[in-house]
Amino acid sequence: MYSIGTDIIDIARIKKCAENVRFMSRVFSKKELDLFTKKKDPYPSMAGNWAAKEAFSKALGTGIKGFSLNEISVLRDDSGKPFFELSGNALKISRNLYFSVSISHTDTLANAVVIAYKTTT
C-alpha cells in the first residue's frame, strides 16, 4: 500500500451545487454526467463521486493540485463496483499507482475511501 484517502460529504450540499451547470462541468466528466442521468435520484451518486475524487486527491498526497476533478471519472462496473478512469494530468500524476475505491451513502451523507498502491513494474 502506498497511501489512503477518505472523504465524507452532505448529499444536500451536492444537490445545491448541481444547480450550477459550470460546477457540474468542472467537477464531473461526460461519462459521469451520463451515468447520473440514468438514475432516478442522482444526488447520492454525485455526492459519492465527489467524495471519491476528494479521497483520490488525499491518497495522492497532493490535494486537488495539478489536475482537474473532471479528469477523474468515477464509473461503475457491471456489478456496480466503482472504479476510476483517469485522463489528462490526473493520469500523468498517478502513472505509477493503481487505486481501489469504495463508496457508501446514507440518506444524508456520502463517503468514499481510496487506497493507492504502487505498481510493481
Helix, strand counts (H, E) of the chain? 5, 5
Total residues belonging to the chain: 121
Residue 63's pLDDT is 81
> Does the annotation mark 58 as catalytic?
yes
81 is a catalytic site residue? no
pLDDT of residue 64: 85
pLDDT at position 121: 59
Q: What is the CATH number of domain 3-118?
A: 3.90.470.20
Looking at 31, 38, 65, 105, which residue is catalytic? 105
Instruction: List average pLDDT for each run of 10 residues in the chain, which is 121 residues long.
Output: 93 96 96 95 97 96 88 96 96 92 97 92 59
Q: In the chain, where are the structural domains located?
A: 3-118
Candidate list 15, 30, 39, 58, residue with the active-site label: 58
Which helix (DSSP H) or strand (DSSP E) does residue 59 occupy? helix 43-60
